[in-house]
A and B are shown apart, each in its own frame.
Chain A
Amino acid sequence: SAVISQKPSRDICQRGTSLTIQCQVDSQVTMMFWYRQQPGQSLTLIATANQGSEATYESGFVIDKFPISRPNLTFSTLTVSNMSPEDSSIYLCSVETQGAGTQYFGPGTRLLVL
């Protein structure tokens, strides 16, 4: 298994500002993902964070709005840029260790945009 931490755990932000969320894993992992869970909705994949290269974004998500970094095999950041109230969600980091098939999730970052 993998132990994942996220910072911050929650935040309240003003419209038009940006927030960077950090994800730290206690071991090296091959795959890291960022998901969003809007109120009352299921989790939706934003992107796959690739180590050493640009992230792979899902349909409906773009790099300018959600820039992602992954400088090594244990750490990634997701930035929510130029926020609006529609960005109020829980943002979750997940990892999959090679060959495990199971994804492990961080505790999430609860974001409220006013």
Chain B
Amino acid sequence: KQEVTQIPAALSVPEGENLVLNCSFTDSAIYNLQWFRQDPGKGLTSLLLIQSSQREQTSGRLNASLDKSSGRSTLYIAASQPGDSATYLCAVGSNSGYALNFGKGTSLLVTP
């Protein structure tokens, strides 16, 4: 069974810092990997989707990388802002179906 781990569980940084969130998975036979943002009382917002054949995806201040062979993905957030405060979830899609396996998330707090 695919196990997804996110480190750190929580992170607090001052505004303006660049930061990296880590995600690791145990089975490298993945279909894709998706990063989501979850705000309190709201659903999940898709941030970036990386197909298994891709190495990275970028959207604005966000950059996600994927290294299938080592079972790792990172989400890089540049010039962090207080509005970036949320829980960030990593989810891995398997080849055998459409279900996503989620990590427990990294709770990010960006202080002004």
Contacts and interface: CB of A to CB of B under 8 A. Distances in A.
A42 B90 CA distance: 10
Contacts of A87: none
Interface stretch (B12-20, B60-68, B71-79, B101-109): B101-109
On chain B, which size bracket covers the interface? 20 to 34
A43, A58, A96, A108: which has the most chain B beta carbons within 10 Å? Answer: A43
Given A31-B98, A105-B43, A42 B34 contact: no
Contact of B100 (A4, A43, A108): A43
B32 A107 contact: no
Contacts of B32: 101
Contacts of A58: 99
Interface string B74-112: 000000000000000101010001111011110000000
Given A101-B32, A108-B42, A43 B99 contact: no
Interface of B: 4, 31-32, 34, 36, 41-46, 49, 51, 89, 91, 93, 97-100, 102-105
Interface of A: 4, 31, 33, 40-45, 48, 58, 92, 94, 96, 101-108, 110
